[in-house]
Amino acid sequence: MGETLIGPDELELAVSGLSGMVGALLLPAIGAWLRVLLQWIESDRSGLGQQPRLSGLQIIRAVLTSFALFFFFIALGRAAGELREIRVEAPVFAAIVTGLIAGMLFWAIYAAGISALQTDYQRAKQTRRIK
């Protein structure tokens, strides 16, 4: 590897930030692939009526989310490796776990907020229809 252009403190912050990005993208990537899997399972069932098909948009969303997750994961690995080279006994694992947990919590709060906004919008839409 080459020489690092930033200092060890900035590199440690980069490791924490990249692990937060990985944590924030981990659950949406898993969820996107689970949605694709469920659509695939439902499209294979036999029965009366029109069969649901696999959604191309869901597949594209799952692939793009996974691509972004792997991009940040590889960048995290490189940054952690360079930090480990600079500081022989760098506490990289603690920074990564803390960043992952913070990223997952950020995503959970974001998802809960979006879900609440969608519920409020649907409720307001229903009350406008009733009036």
> How far out from the chain centre does Cα 80 lie?
20
pTM, to two decimals: 0.74
Q: Is residue 1 part of a domain?
A: no
Q: Is residue 84 part of a domain?
A: yes
Which residue range forms the structural domain that includes residue 72? 8-44+53-130
Q: What percent of the chain has pLDDT over 70?
A: 86
Q: Is residue 3 part of a domain?
A: no
Instruction: State mean pLDDT over 55-63.
Output: 91
b/e burial code for range 21-60 (CB count within 10 A of at least 16 → b): bbbbbbbbbeebbeebeebeeeeeeeeeeeeeeeeeebbe
pLDDT digits (tens, 9 = 90+) for 21-32: 999 999 999 999
Q: Provide the phi-psi class of 4: left if phi over 0, else alpha when psi is between -120 and 50, else beta.
A: beta
pLDDT digits (tens, 9 = 90+) for 73-88: 999 989 888 888 877 6
Q: Provide the phi-psi class of 48: left if phi over 0, else alpha when psi is between -120 and 50, else beta.
A: beta
For the chain, the domain total comes to 1
**11: nearest Cα among 88, 65, 62, 87:** 87
Q: Which two tokens stand for residue 51?
A: 């069969």
